[in-house]
Amino acid sequence: MISIISPVRNEAENLPLFYTTLVDVTQTLFYQWEFIFVYDESKDNTFEVLLELRANDPRVKIVKLSRGFGKENAMTAGLDFATGHAAILIDADLQDPPGLIIQMLELWEKGNKMVYAVRKKREGESWFKKQTASWFYSLMEKISTVHIPRNTGDFRLIDRLILDDLKSLQETQRFMKGLFMVPGYQNAPLYYQRKPRHLGQSNFGFWKLWSFAIDGITGFSLFPLQIASIFGVFLIFVSLFFGVPFLIFNPLESCDRLLVAIIFFSGVQLATIGILGEYIGRTYFESKKRPRYFVESTIGFE
């Protein structure tokens, strides 16, 4: 039994083609299937389209969240409800080609507990998005406590073993690309060319991606905190070796330089407090232990 999981928001116009493509691919393979759609609030008639799909195909199952919880939480809900021996996460906008499922399952049969799709080329995305994404991934490669593969989205196959492990990762700030890699086991990349969205617009604007990136960095690295202490120690030495002689031999002049130095180091201090704040704020939210999603109704689960 294989669970296909798609979080959906504003995908009414993509769902019919996505579903038929999925059926075309899956009917060539000898597995049992469940198609889980996690409805993460929408402005269009996505939910009605899902109900229609369900009416014609009992393998379609729906988890309706009580409001929009965001893609990370919607995926978490889907993984929690999955009953398969393996689950495959896939976007419903056809940017993740369903045809790749075939190769994912082949690699799974060979003993891999996770198969993640790596984008070799990204079409239909702006230079800015691709460039910032590439900076983000190379930064994460250097500072993250777990290895997060480059150019890898959420499109992946996850074995039951890891699905159960993931349930014990209870953090509320869910940077899934990182969380997926925490359990470990044997895994394999699968390369593909990322297509542009079939229809509609991305649900991720600049600020959403920005806060997503900060979630990733703070969730998997203490490096930004360490920069502050490294820089602090460095400045102590600088002030001892240059500052003290400067005071002795040049006590009253160079006010301008002093002003510049004060402004500079006030900036450094504020930035450092800001970094501290990012961590403290997240610790604060984490300490509340709020549930990551609420389910309004489920359709198709026994």
Which chain residues interact with ligand UDP by CB under 6 A?
Answer: 6-9, 11, 40, 68, 70-71, 74, 91-93, 95, 197, 202-204
Find the shortest distance in angstroms from Cβ 135 to ligand UDP. 16
Binder of residue 6, out of Mg ion, ligand UDP, none (CB less than 5 to 8 A by kind): ligand UDP
Q: How far is the CB of 140 from ligand UDP (least distance, A)?
A: 16
Residue number, 113 or 156, with CB nearest to Mg ion: 156
Tokens of 37: 């759609």
What does 190 bind: Mg ion, ligand UDP, none (CB cut-off 5 to 8 Å by kind)? none
Q: Which of 177, 278, 266, 179 is nearest to 224 (CA)?
A: 278
Q: Which is nearer to Mg ion, 40 or 93 (CB)?
A: 93
Contact partner, 70, from ligand UDP, Mg ion, none, Cβ < 5-8 Å per class:
ligand UDP
**With respect to ligand UDP, which residue has the nearer C-beta, 34 or 91?**
91
Using CB under 5 A as the binding rule, the residues of this chain from 72 to 101 that contact Mg ion are 93, 95
Q: Which of 8, 217 has the CB closer to ligand UDP?
A: 8
**Smallest distance from the beta carbon of 70 to ligand UDP, in angstroms?**
5
Residue 93 CB, nearest approach to ligand UDP (Å): 5
Q: Which is nearer to ligand UDP, 93 or 159 (CB)?
A: 93
Q: What is the DSSP string of the chain?
A: -EEEEEEESS-TTTHHHHHHHHHHHHTTS-S-EEEEEEE---SSSHHHHHHHHHHH-TTEEEEEESS---HHHHHHHHHHH--SSEEEE--TTSSS-TTHHHHHHHHHHTT-SEEEEEEEEE-S--HHHHHHHHHHHHHHHHH-SS---TTEEEEEEEEHHHHHHHHT---SS--HHHHTTSS--SEEEEEEEEPPPSSS--S--HHHHHHHHHHHHHHH--HHHHHHHHHHHHHHHHIIIIIHHHHHH-SS--HHHHHHHHHHHHHHHHHHHHHHHHHHHHHHHHHHT--S--EEEEES--
Per-residue x/- track, 250-289, Mg ion (CB under 5 A): ----------------------------------------
Q: Which does 203 bind (CB under 5 to 8 A by kind): Mg ion, ligand UDP, none?
A: ligand UDP
**DSSP characters over 145-168:** SS---TTEEEEEEEEHHHHHHHHT
Q: Which does 204 bind (CB under 5 to 8 A by kind): Mg ion, ligand UDP, none?
A: ligand UDP
The structure tokens 């940017």 sit at 95
61/71 with CB nearer ligand UDP: 71
Number of residues that bind Mg ion (CB under 5 A): 2
State which residue, 134 or 170, has the beta carbon closest to Mg ion. 134
Q: Which does 221 bind (CB under 5 to 8 A by kind): ligand UDP, Mg ion, none?
A: none
In the bound state with ligand UDP, the residue whose beta carbon lies nearer, of 70 and 224, is 70
Closest approach, Cβ 146 to ligand UDP, in A, equals 21
Tokens of 82: 């999955």
Virtual torsion, Cα 227, 230, 231, 232, nearest 10 deg: 120
| Residues binding Mg ion (CB under 5 A) | 93, 95
